[in-house]
Amino acid sequence: MGNRTAIYDAHVEQGARIVDFGGWDMPLHYGSQIEEHHTVRTDAGMFDVSHMTVVDVQGADATAFLHRLIANNVDKLKTPGKALYTCMLNEDGGVIDDLIVYFLSKTEFRMVVNAATREKDLAWLEGQAAVFDVQVSERPDLAMIAVQGPNARDKAAACLAEEDRETALSLGPFVAAPIKDLFVARTGYTGEDGWEIIVPESQADNLWRAFADAGIRPCGLGARDTLRLEAGMNLYGSDMDESTTPLESGLGWTVAWEPEDRRFTGRDRLEAQRREGVPRRLVGLLLEDRGVLRSHQKVIVDGVGEGEVTSGTFSPTLGRSIGLARVPAGAGDKVTVEIRGRRLMARVVRPPFVRHGKAKV
């Protein structure tokens, strides 16, 4: 038996097929992964993401600590609650993890990091924090529910206390606010509108059931993966890891180069790559032939070299296979992918594949 979230019993009652995910017993789907996927694109679905790791950073040096720790710059965050997506790099510019950091005040931030990387992240944070006046505290007492889809905010708001609804519904994109015991953020991992709600463990099961009663469909990790891939969002451990830099992972946009004297960890390597040319890049692939892209399939770029599919799936929205692949820098817009001994044609595209329910490729 793995770790179980506070909502586990509800998943089982709702018919979930449970699988092991990084040591957690999590729902893969509740019957049909594809129907769950379409529900998020067209209506409202919810995900138990309580396995993710919430970390609070507090102290006089909190801002200085984050200036060093992450490749994006928290100085972009001017208003309380504003969120930033970023990578946390090692000395060699490799990605230790990707995370979201919420600005609460100059001395107070909240981060959400991945579940599978929890231990190494916490060890790294502790090591990096040693020379700063800052407290890094994991919050295992908190659960998290993501409600996603064009109708998700309206349906979820109806489950909040009446006086809290307006506050929640007025949150702008990528902004969060504490609302009583909840921390409601207008963020997500699907390419649709919605909230990620951090909730005390003791209240998580009730909130999940209230959302279900309000017509928000429980969705599993399977749909979460096809949705994020359609949205062109990376998955840590598949699309990037410590052997790749953000520049080789389609995440150059998350690196804040200015001001030049902000020497975040890994910066030297990124600057060298930028100077000398980034050897590989992460691109979107749209399979032209019939078949399904899967991670680790070989990508052949004629006359240039080879690469690899890092994530691949069947896109329920597009009705064909899509993927992300790391290819040599000189790749053009046509490549072939080796699938079960055959070479199939794929077109190189710029993600996202789908955004707000609409095909973008």
Residues that bind another protein (CB under 8 A): 17, 28-29, 32-34, 222, 226, 290-292, 294, 313-314, 316, 321, 340
Q: How far is the CB of 149 from another protein (least distance, A)?
A: 19
CB nearer to another protein: pick between 17 and 263: 17
Nearer to another protein, 29 or 186 (CB): 29
Nearer residue to another protein within complex by CB, 56 or 308: 308
Q: For strands 45-48 and 217-218, give the pairing.
A: parallel
* Nearer CB in complex with another protein: 165/294: 294
Could you tell me the smallest distance in angstroms from the CB atom of residue 66 to another protein?
Answer: 37
- Work out the number of other CB atoms within 10 angstroms of the CB of residue 78: 7
212-251 core/surface letters (b: 16 or more CB in 10 A; e: else): bebebbbbbbbbbbbbbbbbbbbbbebbbebebbbbbbbb
Return the exposure string of 32-60: e unless at least 16 CB atoms fall within 10 Å of the residue's CB, then b: ebeebbbbbbebbbbbbbbbbbbbbbbbe
User: Which CB, 275 or 340, lies closer to another protein?
Assistant: 340
* Nearest approach, Cβ of residue 29 and another protein (Å): 7
Query: What is the phi-psi region of residue 152: left when phi exceeds 0, alpha when psi lies from -120 to 50, beta otherwise?
Result: alpha
- Compute the least distance from the CB of residue 64 to another protein, in Å: 44
> C-beta of 217: minimal distance to another protein in Å?
15
